[in-house]
């Protein structure tokens, strides 16, 4: 399982995994902490709906998803979550993160990129 306390010690690995360095990550975290508390934590207190990830974990999960375009099931494996929890976490955090920073989201390769891969093998 990916743990923030361990991965932040390896700045190069952190950057390659999440696309931001540790200080940028901390800045993003500070900016979304209050909205996360108000709009997510305080609103979604339901019995039986506990997620083992804190805000840092959710942010790492979302940045990993954006940077590498990997499946939510694989991310769930990395963070020890079911893919449904990954999906819910992404849907909750995405609008808050969009207010703080612009992250281009790619859902796949374009037609030209696929053609180029086939032609140039």
Containing structural domain, residue 25: 4-120
Model pLDDT for residues 37-54, shown as the tens digit of each residue? 888 877 766 655 556 788
Residue 77 has pLDDT above 90, yes or no: yes
Specify the number of domains making up the chain.
1
Cα(109)–Cα(26) distance, integer angstroms: 31
Task: Look at the block and give the residue holding tokens 């180029």.
Answer: 116
Q: What is the pTM of this model?
A: 0.79
Model pLDDT for residues 103-112, shown as the tens digit of each residue? 665 566 666 7
Measured CA distances, 68 to 14, 39, 58, 71, 74 (Å): 13, 27, 16, 9, 11
Element housing 89 (H / E): helix 83-100
- Residue 101 pLDDT: 78
Model pLDDT for residues 61-71, shown as the tens digit of each residue? 999 998 888 99
Q: 55-74 burial string, b = 16+ CB within 10 Å, else e?
A: bbbbbbbbbbbbbeeeebee
Cα(42)–Cα(38) distance, integer angstroms: 6
- Smallest CA-to-CA distance from 108 within 62, 72, 64, 69 is with 69
Contact 62, 93 (CB under 8 A): yes
């Amino acid at each position: 399982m990916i743990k923030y306390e361990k991965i932040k010690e390896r700045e190069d690995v952190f950057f390659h995994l999440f696309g931001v360095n540790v200080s940028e990550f901390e800045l993003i975290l500070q900016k979304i902490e209050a909205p996360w508390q108000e709009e997510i934590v305080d609103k979604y207190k339901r019995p039986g709906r506990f997620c083992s990830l804190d805000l840092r974990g959710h942010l790492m999960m979302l940045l990993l998803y954006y940077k590498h375009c990997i499946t939510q099931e694989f991310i769930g494996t990395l963070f020890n979550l079911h893919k449904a929890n990954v999906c819910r976490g992404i849907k909750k955090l995405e609008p808050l993160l969009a207010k703080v920073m612009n992250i281009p989201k790619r859902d796949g390769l374009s037609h030209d990129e696929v053609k180029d891969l086939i032609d140039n093998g």
